[in-house]
């Protein structure tokens, strides 16, 4: 963990209430896809945890959705703005577990899967990518993910792609994978982990410190209480009680 000062390069709207924040700064603390960062915004006491969306040497991006006052305030940060940020937080996805990876994202949960897909491609593994959204209007990053592998899209109302959600799609279709990596709404992860045990899920929780000191983000697992910010946010699907 390290605090760095990020400089905003770009902060643009890319979808319905969804923004891409691209920043310049020291990214040396980021060691795995699936980790997160905590951004210190002006006039807010608690930092805002955001999944690392894309990471390059000296540059990091965050894909975020406006869900409250904090993320709304973040949309106001313009090019050149400075954001004190804790980097290298949490444990990421273990890419060694898959030879034929399946990436599953629900809504804004697709954010950390972009970095993960890039990492798999570097390893010579072409992932299958399954993305779920509520409606056609919320679908984003379909073309970007096609650069990494075969992409399937579901929408709850059937207005785009396959009607349903990623869990129902998996139950109805045979995909050639040996291990999955998922991030999205808790209800999706709950039914996914109940039906398909061979995978990892990235969880969200309200966080105070973001590095394991306050215990505010603890969840129950089959191995006792664990902190989402420290032992997670990535857990084995068979371990969590959702």
Q: What is the pLDDT of residue 215?
A: 74
* Mean predicted lDDT score pLDDT of the chain: 94
Nearest-CA neighbor of 19 among 58, 69, 72, 86?
72
For residues 53-76, give the mean pLDDT: 96
Write out pLDDT tens, residues 122-137.
999 999 999 999 999 9
Burial class (CB in 10 A: 0-12, 13-18, 19+), 183: buried
pLDDT tens, position by position, 190-230: 999 999 999 999 998 666 777 777 777 888 888 888 888 88
pLDDT at residue 140 above 80?
yes
Total residues found in the chain within this entry: 242
Q: pLDDT per residue over 24-43, tens digit each? A: 999 999 999 999 999 999 99
Q: Provide the pLDDT for residue 211.
A: 74
Q: Contact 149/126 with Cβ under 8 angstroms? A: yes
**What secondary structure letter does DSSP report for 233?**
B
What are the tens digits of pLDDT across the range 158-187?
A: 999 999 999 999 999 999 999 999 999 999
- SS3 of residue 82 by DSSP: strand
Average pLDDT over every residue of 43-67: 95
Q: What percent of the chain has pLDDT over 90?
A: 86
| pLDDT confidence tier of residue 16, bands split at 50, 70 and 90 | very high
CB 173 within 8 A of CB 163: no
Give me the helices (H) in 21-106, please: 69-74
Q: Which domains does the chain have, with CATH numbers?
A: 2-89 (2.40.30.10), 95-236 (3.40.50.80)
With beta carbons less than 8 A apart as the criterion, state whether 134 and 110 touch: no
Nearest-angstrom CA–CA distance, 17 and 23: 19
Tell me how far apart the alpha carbons of residues 213 and 112 are, in angstroms, rounded to a whole number: 24
State the burial class of residue 228 (Cβ atoms within 10 Å of its Cβ: 0-12, 13-18, 19+): buried
Look at phi and psi of residue 71 and say left if phi exceeds 0, alpha if psi is from -120 to 50, else beta.
Answer: alpha
Res 207: pLDDT: 67
The distance of Cα 134 from the centroid of its chain, to the nearest Å, equals 17
Report the sign of the C-alpha dihedral through residues 67, 34, 53, 168, in that order.
Answer: negative
pLDDT, residue 229, reads 86
- pLDDT for res 32: 96
- Contact of 77 with 11, CB cutoff 8 Å: yes
8 A C-beta contact, residue 56 and residue 22: no
Q: Is the pTM of this model over 0.85?
A: yes
Q: What are phi and psi of 116, to 5 degrees?
A: -65, -45
């Amino acid at each position: 963990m390290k605090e760095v000062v990020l400089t905003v390069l770009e902060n643009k709207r890319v979808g319905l209430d969804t923004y891409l924040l691209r920043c310049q700064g020291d990214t040396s603390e980021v060691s795995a896809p699936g980790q997160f960062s905590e951004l210190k915004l002006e006039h807010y006491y608690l930092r805002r945890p955001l999944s690392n969306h894309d990471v390059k040497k000296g540059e990091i991006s965050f894909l975020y959705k406006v869900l409250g006052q904090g993320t709304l305030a973040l949309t106001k940060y313009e090019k050149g703005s400075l954001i004190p940020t804790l980097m290298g937080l949490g444990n990421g996805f273990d890419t060694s577990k898959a030879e034929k990876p399946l990436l599953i994202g629900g809504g804004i949960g697709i954010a950390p899967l972009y970095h993960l897909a890039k990492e798999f491609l570097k390893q010579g593994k072409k992932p299958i990518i399954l993305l779920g959204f509520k409606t056609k209007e919320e679908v984003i990053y379909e073309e970007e993910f096609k650069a990494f592998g075969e992409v399937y899209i579901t929408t709850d109302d059937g207005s785009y792609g396959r009607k349903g959600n990623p869990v129902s799609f998996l139950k109805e279709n045979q995909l050639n994978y040996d291990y999955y990596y998922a991030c999205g709404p808790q209800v999706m992860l709950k039914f996914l982990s109940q039906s398909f045990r061979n995978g990892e899920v990235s969880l969200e929780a309200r966080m105070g410190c973001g590095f394991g000191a306050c215990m505010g983000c603890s969840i129950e697992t089959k191995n006792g209480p664990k902190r989402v910010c420290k032992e997670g946010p990535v857990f084995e699907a068979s371990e969590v009680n959702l």
